[in-house]
Amino acid sequence: MELSKRQEAIMEIVKKEGPITGEQIAERLSLTRATLRPDMAILTMSGLLEARPRVGYYFSGKTPGSVLAEKLHNIKVGEIKSVPVVVPEQCSVYDAVVTMFIEDVGTLIVVREGGLLEGVISRKDLLKTTLGGQDIHKLPVGVVMTRMPNVITVEPDDSVWLAAKRLITHEVDALPVVRPVRDDAGSLEVVGRLSKTNIARLFVELGEGGG
Amino acid sequence: MELSKRQEAIMEIVKKEGPITGEQIAERLSLTRATLRPDMAILTMSGLLEARPRVGYYFSGKTPGSVLAEKLHNIKVGEIKSVPVVVPEQCSVYDAVVTMFIEDVGTLIVVREGGLLEGVISRKDLLKTTLGGQDIHKLPVGVVMTRMPNVITVEPDDSVWLAAKRLITHEVDALPVVRPVRDDAGSLEVVGRLSKTNIARLFVELGEGGG
């Protein structure tokens, strides 16, 4: 949403002097209230200004950018997550690499019985291991994976924004999407996978048709 | 930007019957023109509807989503690209893996003299190679890299949206950012790197403060 010059002038006035009445704003701009009405309606209905009877207009603290931000916060992990690709802890590093190529993913999720989260293993972890000179046919992934409780996770109702923030902050490529297990404190059921690829794909979708 | 129920009703009418005058819309909704005026102003000024004198209102083809989309298309690759991490074609696979770990990147860009693009090599390519049982100290990356002209690239003035689209379409993690070399047709100077991490980071930045 692009603001007109006049709308920007109104925003400036309200930021400086708000709460301020419509009449006072009209006065500052040497315009009639009627002329301003559509602009005031746009600014309040888009959430940039708020209006309260007998108080006047004041700045909501939102910017056109934060209106976009709200949209990003409203999309949930559950809406865009991928199917998790899982292996058991006893799986060999060699088999893990093969699984990664077959499934074409960059991160495997390691689970115990019941699909409960034990750890994660990334392409980077596996590359480091293959260089180590150990017998990767015998080495179980449990030895080289990142183990609970050090795994960064996300829940289906978390926002995609929060997931992206965790991916960036913790410098990982993917997060297991989990649900706490009732009556089993600390256990997390794996219900999906959210990677940087999901974020990039969402980015593309949000931009479709706007070229 | 969220539309009110009434604004959505107006959008429906205009999509079906446009071009249509304000009076006709008011009639359909059993409202006065004065009541509708702020809504019509919002819908036209946000770009969802267009208005032409003596013709009426018609649908611009934009949706609230496409207003967001426009924003994503306006951000350029040059604004968010990272520094490229490059190796020469003669670099051994072993040294490439070491470089990848030291620089903590998922993709290396292979260049010849003058920083001109020759190829790219990903963590996935290297993982496949380390499994192959060859002597990775002697094997040059030139043998296993994706070579020009098969490398997917992007230019600094391209939109970040286009870059994300290429990342997803071609299933790669990063793109070399290049500039064509004048008087040397087909040669591309490497000026940066754009990865899914850049996209995720931008996503986080766009959403800052909107929580």
Eight-class DSSP state of A24: H
Share of chain A above pLDDT 70, in %: 94
Sequence-ordered list of residues with C-beta below 8 angstroms from that of A53, at least 6 positions apart, any chain: none
Judging by beta carbons within 10 Å of its beta carbon (0-12, 13-18, 19+), is residue B78 exposed, middle or buried?
Answer: middle
Who among B45, B69, B128 is closest to A210 (CB)? B69
Q: In the predicted model, is pLDDT for residue B2 greater than 50?
A: yes
What CATH architecture applies to the domain B75-206? Roll (3.10)
What CATH architecture applies to the domain A5-62? Orthogonal Bundle (1.10)
* Sheet strands (E) in chain B: 49-52, 56-59, 86-88, 107-112, 116-122, 146-147, 174-180, 188-195
ipTM of the complex: 0.73
Task: Render pLDDT for A67-109 as a digit per residue (tens, 0 to 9).
Answer: 667 777 889 999 999 999 999 999 999 999 999 999 999 999 9
Residues of chain A found within 8 Å of residue B70, distances taken between Cβ atoms: 210
Q: What is the pLDDT of residue B70?
A: 73
Task: Render pLDDT for A163-205 as a digit per residue (tens, 0 to 9).
Answer: 999 999 999 999 999 999 998 888 999 999 999 999 999 988 8
Q: In the predicted model, is pLDDT for residue A210 greater than 50?
A: no
Q: Nearest CA of chain B to the CA of A188: how many Å?
A: 25
**Fold for the domain defined by B5-69:** Arc Repressor Mutant, subunit A (1.10.10)
Q: What is the pLDDT of residue B47?
A: 73
Q: What is the pLDDT of residue A45?
A: 72
Task: Render pLDDT for B33-61 as a digit per residue (tens, 0 to 9).
Answer: 888 888 888 787 777 888 887 788 888 77
Domain ranges of chain A: 5-62, 75-206
Q: What is the pLDDT of residue B114?
A: 92
Q: How many CB pairs under 8 A join A and B?
A: 170
At A1, the pLDDT band (50, 70, 90 cuts) reads: low
Q: What is the pLDDT of residue B1?
A: 58
Greater model confidence, B33 or A45? B33
Q: What is the pLDDT of residue A64?
A: 59
